[in-house]
Structure 1
Amino acid sequence: MFFQKKRNIHGLLLLDKPPGMSSNYALQKVKFIFNAKKAGYVGTLDPLATGMLPICFGECTKFSSYLTESKKRYHVIAKLGEKTSTSDSYGIVIQKRPVSFTSFHLDASIKELTGVINQIPSMYSAIKFNGIPLYKYARKGLNIKRSIREVSIYNIDHISQENNLIEFQVLCSKGTYIRTLVEDLGEKLGCGAHVIFLRRLQIASYSYDKLVKMSHLYELLNKEKNKDINLFKKIDHLLMPIDSPVSFLPKIYLSFQQSYYFKLGQTLNFYSKVKNSLVRVIEQEHKKFIGLGKITEELLIPHRLLSTMY
């Protein structure tokens, strides 16, 4: 093992999670590659699913909740006529029915599943009951009563259907279970359905072209691992800034003296055109992000600060 002491690194990586891997396993792999002391992922993807899995390192984890709350877009392919135990192709087929519906029936079913809808999460989800994920109960054949969840389906588009396959994209709120959405669509069409392909294309406004493959990380690491200098320079270059999860917030700039008191948690007298809003606070001299503040009237109140050790 050529790594020793874990590194304090800070920033965000948009991982392109490969299929057949849990989100937590992908996180552990990335932490190993970066030799990072602290990291966490945003928005669990099933092992079947691929695509955008944001991984926050170090101080960036303080702002991950803003991504959790964001809209998400998925590319979905479902197989019609078969209902499975897990609502995806990893499960066993528990019911088969003929596929026979009109385009009018399909359009009406899609419309019924658009907007604010109720979902009952799958037993094969990561939701915890008494501290244990539901999928662990499901694997033992146990069924736990789940609460109905209200989610928002903003749009279902790019719909195409051929034979027993249906393909579409969906833009949805946090907490949406795509497997449940597909299963509900299958029931409305009277034939049943399960997910055979799922890829997350977007979280918040992050660009799809920023995704980094696991294989690319290993490739860079293997090229550099025998060098003593700048071992992690290339992979660290892939990280986005600490404040990228809150990039939608306006910036304000403080002098060095103002920054000193702000970082101590003190409220400052501060005039800004921005009113009654959270803001990204930048230390002007070094162009360095130091935390979030809230502006009310002519005051700047510390809201979420970076560690003074950063």
Structure 2
Amino acid sequence: MSRRNPKGREINGIVLLDKDTGLSSNAALQKVKRLFFAKKAGHTGSLDPLASGILPICLGQATKVAQFLLDDDKRYFVRGKLGQISDTGDCEGKIIQTQVFDHLSKAEVIEAAMSFKGDILQIPPMYSALKKDGQPLYKLARQGIEIERPARPVSIHEINFISYAEGVLTLEVSCSKGTYIRSLIQDIGDKLGCGAHVIELRRTGFAHIDISETITFSQLEQLATHDYQQLDAHIFPSENMLPKIDNICLNAEQVDDIKHGRVVQSDVQDKAYKVKLFDQNQTFLGIGELSADGLIQPKRLFV
């Protein structure tokens, strides 16, 4: 590939990556960034190295909307092993306790899993990217330090039972942002009195995105050409990734004001919420915040 600009290409948009297992989200991000030779890139919410599945990679100015993608719901396929407790909550950690589980019936296991459907309080795992005094919890955990974590409200929208055999529970879970599937499997194990940990995890849904819309890194490598044409065909416009945010079209004067950070008056007067801003040519300008009295405050602009 031609690399005329040593700093990278000015490309904008989102690549829907199907991340492989065994790869950290940051490592996946860096691989995609190098392949596209993008000047700037970021991901929207990390996936554990154990986990595979949807990881939206934002290129260029699309990094400015990453925070808005994070607010959406997720869907996961998960397999949990009963009777074994891991220090990390998954199979990458060390088994620190085993308990009997073969006395449990399939009906009991299903009932325990389904009891977590709805609005619940969940304690985040120590092995997570959450921070305490600026320090990620997983770094403290690696030092053998465990701190108290307050329970946080999350929503489990759906739990679909798939199978249970030989101590392995398989589910599909639809949930709100901030939900830890490792904690969910641990909580199910605790409720059954035998413990549990995740042995397989795959993110199959992200907001309106389905796993069928994604592409693997190896597929991207095969598409790579000297002019990037085939690669760039897999970059989605940022505005397409935010279907739940309403559109507002601005006139030329309003566009000039917004670009200079000034508040503009809209004809829409309803309630306060975020909006996608477009100019008269339907060019996406970024995200604004509309107040109940119709004022639009620029938030994250592509200018």
Structure 1 residues 194-205: aligned runs within 5 Å: 194-205=197-208
Alignment match, 2:129: 126
Q: How many residues align structurally?
A: 300
Displacement of 1:63: 1.6
Structure 2 runs not aligned, ≥5 long: none
Displacement of 1:307: 3.9
For residues 133 and 305 of structure 1, do their structure 2 counterparts lie closer, same or farther at Cα, with a shift above 3 Å needed? Answer: closer
Amino acid at match of 2:153: E
For 1:195 and 1:256, the matched residues in 2 are separated by 54
Displacement of 1:180: 1.1
Picking from 52, 71, 77, the partner of 1:50 is 52
1:241 aligns with 2:237: yes
For residues 299 and 134 of structure 1, do their structure 2 counterparts lie closer, same or farther at Cα, with a shift above 3 Å needed? Answer: closer
Displacement of 1:260: 2.7
Would the aligned equivalents of 2:110 and 2:161 in 1 still touch at CA under 8 Å?
no
1:267-296 Cα offsets, whole Å, 9 max, x none, are 444435876543322212x32111234445
For 1:209 and 1:253, the matched residues in 2 are separated by 32
Alignment match, 2:276: 280
Alignment match, 2:111: 108
Would the aligned equivalents of 2:263 and 2:298 in 1 still touch at CA under 8 Å?
no
1:33 aligns with 2:35: yes
For residues 2 and 253 of structure 1, do their structure 2 counterparts lie closer, same or farther at Cα, with a shift above 3 Å needed? Answer: closer
Alignment match, 1:182: 185
For 2:200 and 2:217, the matched residues in 1 are separated by 19
Alignment match, 1:193: 196
Would the aligned equivalents of 1:186 and 1:193 in 2 still touch at CA under 8 Å?
yes
Would the aligned equivalents of 1:64 and 1:245 in 2 still touch at CA under 8 Å?
no
Amino acid at match of 1:288: T
1:172-191 Cα offsets, whole Å, 9 max, x none, are 11111111110111111122
For 2:130 and 2:266, the matched residues in 1 are separated by 43
**Greater mean alpha carbon deviation, residues 260-269 or residues 123-132:** 260-269
Amino acid at match of 2:86: T
State the TM-score, normalized to the length of structure 2: 0.90
For residues 82 and 270 of structure 1, do their structure 2 counterparts lie closer, same or farther at Cα, with a shift above 3 Å needed? Answer: closer
Displacement of 1:57: 1.7
Alignment match, 1:262: 258
For residues 90 and 58 of structure 1, do their structure 2 counterparts lie closer, same or farther at Cα, with a shift above 3 Å needed? Answer: same
Would the aligned equivalents of 1:41 and 1:53 in 2 still touch at CA under 8 Å?
yes
Alignment match, 1:153: 156
**Cα-Cα RMSD:** 2.3
Picking from 74, 88, 93, the partner of 1:86 is 88
**Greater mean alpha carbon deviation, residues 62-71 or residues 44-53:** 62-71
For residues 181 and 257 of structure 1, do their structure 2 counterparts lie closer, same or farther at Cα, with a shift above 3 Å needed? Answer: same
Would the aligned equivalents of 1:267 and 1:299 in 2 still touch at CA under 8 Å?
no
SS in structure 1 at match of 2:62: helix
For 1:154 and 1:10, the matched residues in 2 are separated by 33
Would the aligned equivalents of 1:278 and 1:294 in 2 still touch at CA under 8 Å?
yes
SS in structure 2 at match of 1:302: strand
Picking from 14, 17, 20, the partner of 1:15 is 17
1:302 aligns with 2:297: yes
Would the aligned equivalents of 1:9 and 1:36 in 2 still touch at CA under 8 Å?
yes
Would the aligned equivalents of 1:83 and 1:194 in 2 still touch at CA under 8 Å?
yes
For 1:153 and 1:297, the matched residues in 2 are separated by 31
Structure 1 runs not aligned, ≥5 long: none
SS in structure 1 at match of 2:156: strand
1:230-263 Cα offsets, whole Å, 9 max, x none, are x222212211112234222222323444423332
Displacement of 1:158: 3.3
Alignment match, 1:62: 64
1:75 aligns with 2:77: yes
Displacement of 1:300: 4.6
SS in structure 1 at match of 2:238: coil
1:142 aligns with 2:145: yes
SS in structure 2 at match of 1:64: helix
State the TM-score, normalized to the length of structure 1: 0.88
For 1:177 and 1:261, the matched residues in 2 are separated by 42
